[in-house]
Amino acid sequence: MLKHQAQVVNIIQNFATEEEQSLQAKIEQLAGRLFPRQRKKREQLAAQLLEMYTQACDKDFLVIHSPGGWGNAHWQDVLDWEKSIVTGVTATLEKLGYSFIVEQYFRSGDVLWGPKSVFREAQFFLWGASFRAEVLAEELKFIVHNLPKVKVVLVGASQGAAFNNTAMMNIDNPERIYSIELGTFFPHMPRRKITERTLAIDSNGLMNDPMCHRDLWVATKAYLGAFYRWLKYRAIGKPMKFTHCINTPGHEYRWEYPAICGRITEFLTTKFREKR
């Protein structure tokens, strides 16, 4: 009897090992295709994707937050109103009875993409070109293919919203992948793609968003004022992130605004219903 039990344990352990080896091989193959000449980036991408897979494998939802601004703000530095959207989404999923894990996806400032780059952001802002969005798309396709029960919800505001939309456009059939996008900057508006799996919100319900509707005078004043505040805080020895110095009326999407929580809650409950 004990011998038989030991054989069963060995079989299970060998199967688990084979499964892990197969998964690792698939991840390395994908990383090799995306970064054929950059060994370090291959290793970093493989580690990132393996962590994402491991975190999501026993959950109903993988919620991915793409920060606005430079795309490099860790959770503690994310603007309060942007945080409120992510926590509102997860609270709604929890009320519906689903389990979830939240992951942040950075466009810059991490080990994979390195420091923020004005050139890369300008390319993305003006022409929508983003290899990073292509990489995210490949990671998402890998997740939904290898975790057939997991659904993905992308959450992004401002440049993060445009980034998520670009990633969605790089997926031919984004089955089980959804995107909630708030305050997309005006250059991205003509090229973005809205599907039945996308919720795009371009107004907070209180006033028009100048960043969405190309109000260049208001936008210019907001950024000039932000630069002044940024310099002032540095001068008095209390440096503040530039994004925290920007004050643009209308470009603020707090969860407590009825037009925001109402539309997002309706989107989530319509798409997923209550878990039984």
- pLDDT given at position 246: 60
* Residue 128 shares a structural domain with residue 112: yes
At 14, the pLDDT band (50, 70, 90 cuts) reads very low
Q: What is the per-residue burial (b if ≥16 Cβ within 10 Å, else e) of 177-215?
A: bbbbbbbbbbebeeebeeeebbbbbbbbeeeebbbbeeb
Q: How many folded domains does the chain comprise?
A: 2
- SS3 state of residue 8: helix
Q: Are residues 206 and 244 in the same domain?
A: no
Q: How confident is the model at residue 120 (pLDDT cuts 50, 70, 90)?
A: confident
**31 located within any domain:** no
The larger pLDDT score, comparing residue 128 to residue 54, is at 54
Q: Tell me whether residue 23 is in a domain.
A: no
pLDDT in tens, 192-229: 999 999 999 999 988 888 777 766 655 665 555 556 45
118 pLDDT higher than 90? no
Predicted confidence band of residue 72 (pLDDT cuts 50, 70, 90)? confident
Task: Identify whether residues 128 and 67 lie together within a single domain.
Answer: yes
- Per-residue pLDDT tens over the stretch 75-114: 998 989 999 999 999 999 999 999 999 999 998 765 556 5
Please tell me whether residues 237 and 170 are part of one structural domain: no
pLDDT, one tens digit per residue, over 256-271 is 999 999 999 999 999 9
Provide CB contacts within 8 A for 106, sequence distance 6+: 67, 71, 72, 112, 113
Are 93 and 268 spatial neighbours (Cβ–Cβ below 8 Å)?
yes
Averaged confidence pLDDT in the chain: 84
Q: Do 63 and 124 lie in a common domain?
A: yes
pTM of the full predicted structure? Answer: 0.84
Query: Who wins on pLDDT, 49 or 221?
Result: 49
Residue 130 in domain:
yes
pLDDT at 7: 46
Asked if residue 98 and residue 224 are part of one domain, the reply reads no
Among residues of the chain, what percentage have pLDDT more than 90? 52
Q: Are residues 160 and 219 in the same domain?
A: no
- Look up the domain containing 246 and give its range: 215-250
Q: The sheet that has 61-66: what strands, in order across it? A: 100-104, 61-66, 151-157, 177-182, 198-201
pLDDT, position 147: 95
At residue 167 the predicted structure's pLDDT band, cuts being 50, 70 and 90, is very high
Which CATH number belongs to the domain containing residue 268 in this structure? 3.40.50.1820
Q: So what's the pLDDT on residue 63?
A: 98
Please check whether residues 242 and 143 belong to one and the same domain: no
Looking at per-residue pLDDT, the higher value among 33 and 117 belongs to 33
